[in-house]
Amino acid sequence: MAVEVTAIAVGYPASSFTSPELKNLTEDVGQDSHPSACCSRAMPPRKKRRPSAGDDMSAKKSRQDSVFRKHETSQIREEETFSSKRCLEWFYEYAGCDDVVGPEGMEKFCEDIGVEPENVVMLVLAWKLDAQSMGYFTLQEWLRGMGSLQCDSTERLRNSLDYLRSVLNDSTSFKLIYRYAFDFAREKDQRSLDLNTAKCMLGLLLGKTWPLFPVFNQFLEQSKYKVINKDQWCNVLEFSRTINLDLSNYDEDGAWPVLLDEFVEWYKERQMS
């Protein structure tokens, strides 16, 4: 019985052996001190496993996912890329058949981006576009400025409003915007800015940052001045940045314009009374 089991274990039917053969096989097995030696003679070499149908499907799905991700990434990049054509179409939504966005188009434009026309961010935007006339954006200004901002749609510009506001926090940029505002707001046939417009622009630019603006505005209202020239305009900014609120460091013999000398005198008299 033990011989038969041994014969079956190595893969041969017991009936196929004669007694001497069984004896020899039994001796061989008994002499081998390592069972694995028997297995190595009886079992065929292990072959490399071929991929199953499931493996093929998994690999195919992986390739498809990779292609899909590449396509999806390509679409996202295309959407993120500035389009001159889209920017041009966006311009004509407000310009109509003209090559300039006028007051009516500007009103709709402000409404679409959610900003009041008198908001300071519109001044910053005009500066970015290098617009030459208040209330108007030409096609060339629009394409150049919106291109620099990488904005070709209402949504993209809305997303850039915080950036435009932040520009005012940079002192160098603010000074450029302040100087730009004078030429932007004045009548092109005039070298000076009429007083009412000057007060509005000063309020827009300095009203929230210069504590003395309210009293300076009162001074302008009761003064003899009807216009503000560019030298006066630029010096008001310098005054607001360098002169103490109590005016203690103001040098009356300095190179300040007469306008500011008169303001200091008026303010001190007002304080004394």
* Mean confidence (pLDDT) of the chain: 82
Is the pLDDT assigned to residue 45 strictly greater than 90? no
Give residue-wise pLDDT tens across range 50-79: 555 555 555 555 655 564 555 444 444 445
Of the candidates 202, 166, 165, the residue with the CA atom closest to the CA atom of residue 182: 202
Rg (CA), the chain: 43
Q: Are 192 and 227 in contact (CB under 8 A)?
A: yes
Following DSSP, what letter does each residue of 208-272 receive, concatenated? Answer: TT-TTHHHHHHHHHHSS-SEE-HHHHHHHHHHHHHS-TT-TT--TTSS--HHHHHHHHHHHHHHH
- Side-chain half-sphere of 119: how many Cα atoms within 13 Å? 15
Q: Measured between alpha carbons, how far is 35 from 186 in angstroms, rounded to an integer?
A: 105
Give residue-wise pLDDT tens across range 87-144: 999 999 999 999 999 999 999 999 999 999 999 999 999 999 999 999 999 999 999 9
Q: Are 163 and 178 in contact (CB under 8 A)?
A: no
Q: Measured between alpha carbons, how far is 164 from 175 in angstroms, rounded to an integer?
A: 15
Q: Are 112 and 156 in contact (CB under 8 A)?
A: no
Name the H helices within the chain.
Answer: 2-9, 19-31, 35-42, 53-80, 84-95, 103-113, 120-129, 139-149, 154-167, 171-185, 195-206, 213-222, 230-242, 258-272
Q: What is the DSSP letter of 137?
A: E
What is the set of domains in the chain, with CATH numbers?
2-42 (no CATH), 83-169 (1.10.238.10), 170-273 (1.10.238.200)
